[in-house]
Structure 1
Amino acid sequence: MPLPLPEFHDDKRVGTLYLERAALVTEAARRYAVAHQVKPAREDSLRIAAFGIDVQVAFCQPEASLFVPGAVEDTQRTLRWLYANLDRITGLVFSLDTHRVFQVFHPAWWQDAEGRPPAPMTPITAADIRAGKWRATRHPEESLAYCERLEAAGKYILTVWPYHALLGGLSHALLPAMMEASLFHAVARDTQTRFEVKGEEPLTENYSVLSPEVTELPGRKVGEFNQELFDHLLTFDRVYVFGQAKSHCVLSTLMDLKQHIEATDRSKMGRIHILEDAMSPVPAPPLDPLPPGLDFPRVANEAMRTFREAGMKVVRTTDSLDG
């Protein structure tokens, strides 16, 4: 039987900012564990991870600069799922997209011929840079090389994003309602939540939690595959994936999982469960014609088919864990 929602949880507050109520939530968790006979996570015979990708204010709060439409409802469904299955979810893993002002995908990195920064959602290609349409305000050679290598990979072209998930700012934080769920789970199941910081390297985008889009530039290493996190996730019998955005950070993380499972042990592909109703794509930018790579909803839906065909399970938060 699904467990009931804790008394402090309010769906209407999911998309709002407030200070997490650590004392109230953890005390409620202690009482809840006793009342519902919730055992410590270390006693689980079937080990299940809930892997939340960038469930942060930056993407899930409507006033944030990079809010993903649908993220509030996604998070509401996710929280109902987390609480209902609290006694069976062994571990929580959350990524935290983490940025500063001067990064290759932020406006301050680029200028046009008049010294003006690009507007958010502006695509910048290697051809644009070579033609003088845009120039980097720092590391010009590496910035051109980055765009060339990004385009050669065939997944994305460089997109200038609004300033988001800035270290030290409110948008960097886990959404308060999700933070309370992590506190509640930690105390009720007597286990620590795991947080993974990503995205601090200025010369690469880092959609995937497991690796940046580009790992090397001429004379400079800018990232590597997070083998330790990959190994940790695959210690679980199931990994349920949710978060934002379906077209970017979730998609890239799932792609990395797929490729590395294929390279190591294909029999583990079925451990990955994608909570499809707990994620939404970034809307396509208003460009005409719209480059196929910027039709983000289409990109996301095609990727889901690829993951399903590879053997990952595409499920919903309303599906039983016994299904």
Structure 2
Amino acid sequence: MIIDPQNDFCDIPKNKYQNPALPIKGSNNDMKRLAKFILANINNISEITITLDSHYRMDIAHTCFWRRGDNNLEPFSKITSDDIIRGSVTPKTKDNKKQIIRYFEYIEKSEITGLTIWPVHCEIGTWGNNINKHIQVSRNLWEDKNSKKANILLKGLDPLREQFSIFSKDTRKNKKCINRKLIKNLDKYDILLIAGESSSHCVKRTIEDLIYNSNRKDLQRIMVLTDCMSPVHGYEKRTRDFMSDMEDIGVTITNSIEVMSILK
């Protein structure tokens, strides 16, 4: 399972044709290592599932959705329901402001900090939304070799709801919906390898949703490839704590080199 291996998250050198919106340090090398791993195990990997963060430009977690005074919000701002109620930040959208406040109050029951506002990223139809070229090449070769197609799953399509994990999303009635069918499908595989970006956000939330909603008893057969993922800057400790927590409950924290001996 490859989580959000997209151009906007990769620290690819910029030019006039490619300019990653939310580059994560080390991520392009993560994708190179993961692509190398896929090619080395092209006969051992039975399925590939890829999630893609996919947003409209006017998205509740994007800077251009909000106004502070006469300006857009700054990237990485954190806002709460109180900020909206007081009017220190205002949504530009014509959608129901009360509904937006209720959504913030709903997520604040589990997220004390409210919502992080990101640069516009993974916009549908753009280069940044596309799969990193190293993963795309290895995916194509795997598909040709095995006469199969990778499973491509989109998330983040609701412009009024944040979605880090493919396994869960919040409805417009502020209820969490779990994709149990997908979890059940992944539970049937002998070994589930997980990689992608970023380890501090989408990878973390995806694994948490999987673990806490899975019927799998052998958690050690869920293996996280730590050399094929990196955290958003400033969230390194959050990632280390998460990996430690997962290891404590039995998930295998490994890397693309160590896991080779397991697959042989």
Structure-1-length-normalised TM-score: 0.75
- Alpha-carbon distance in structure 1 between the residues aligned to 2:132 and 2:67: 33
Structure 1 residue aligned with 2:221: 271
Q: How do residues 143-292 of structure 1 correspond to structure 2 at under 5 angstroms?
A: 143-154=100-111, 157-212=114-169, 215-217=170-172, 220=173, 224-261=177-214, 264-265=215-216, 267-284=217-234
How many residues get paired? Answer: 254
8 A Cα contact 1:283 1:297, kept in partner:
yes
Residue 314 of structure 1: SS of its match in structure 2?
strand
Please report how far the alpha carbon of residue 301 of structure 1 lies from its aligned counterpart in structure 2 after TM superposition: 1.0
- Alpha-carbon distance in structure 2 between the residues aligned to 1:66 and 1:186: 29
Q: Cα deviations across residues 179-233 of structure 1 (Å, max 9, x unaligned)?
A: 1111100111222111011000111111112113xx245xx36762222221221
Structure 1 residue aligned with 2:89: 134
8 A Cα contact 1:61 1:175, kept in partner:
no
- Cα distance, 1:197–1:155 mapped onto 2, change above 3 Å: farther
- Alpha-carbon distance in structure 2 between the residues aligned to 1:178 and 1:202: 27
Structure 2 residue aligned with 1:125: 80
**Unpaired stretches in structure 2, ≥5 consecutive residues:** 13-18
Q: Could you say which structure has the larger radius of gyration? A: 1
Whichever residue aligns with residue 321 of structure 1, its letter is M
- Alpha-carbon distance in structure 1 between the residues aligned to 2:81 and 2:92: 15
Please report how far the alpha carbon of residue 136 of structure 1 lies from its aligned counterpart in structure 2 after TM superposition: 1.6
The percent identity for this pair of structures is: 24
Whichever residue aligns with residue 179 of structure 2, its letter is N
- Cα distance, 1:124–1:320 mapped onto 2, change above 3 Å: closer
Q: Cα deviations across residues 51-110 of structure 1 (Å, max 9, x unaligned)?
A: 100001111243301011110111111112111111111111100110011111012221
Residue 193 of structure 2: SS of its match in structure 1?
strand
4+ residue runs over 6 A deviation: none
- Alpha-carbon distance in structure 2 between the residues aligned to 1:166 and 1:222: 25
- Alpha-carbon distance in structure 2 between the residues aligned to 1:222 and 1:103: 19
Structure 1 residue aligned with 2:16: none
Q: Which moved more, 1:150-159 or 1:272-281?
A: 150-159
RMSD: 1.7
8 A Cα contact 2:167 2:182, kept in partner:
yes
**Unpaired stretches in structure 1, ≥5 consecutive residues:** 1-50, 285-295
- Alpha-carbon distance in structure 2 between the residues aligned to 1:222 and 1:233: 24
Residue 261 of structure 2: SS of its match in structure 1?
coil
Q: Which moved more, 1:225-234 or 1:164-173?
A: 225-234
Whichever residue aligns with residue 183 of structure 1, its letter is N
Q: How do residues 288-307 of structure 1 correspond to structure 2 at under 5 angstroms?
A: 296-307=235-246
8 A Cα contact 2:5 2:132, kept in partner:
yes
Structure-2-length-normalised TM-score: 0.91
Residue 232 of structure 2: SS of its match in structure 1?
coil
Please report how far the alpha carbon of residue 157 of structure 1 lies from its aligned counterpart in structure 2 after TM superposition: 2.6
8 A Cα contact 2:193 2:223, kept in partner:
yes
2:36 pairs with one of 80, 88, 101: 80
Structure 2 residue aligned with 1:30: none
Residue 302 of structure 1: SS of its match in structure 2?
helix
Please report how far the alpha carbon of residue 268 of structure 1 lies from its aligned counterpart in structure 2 after TM superposition: 3.4
- Cα distance, 1:244–1:180 mapped onto 2, change above 3 Å: same
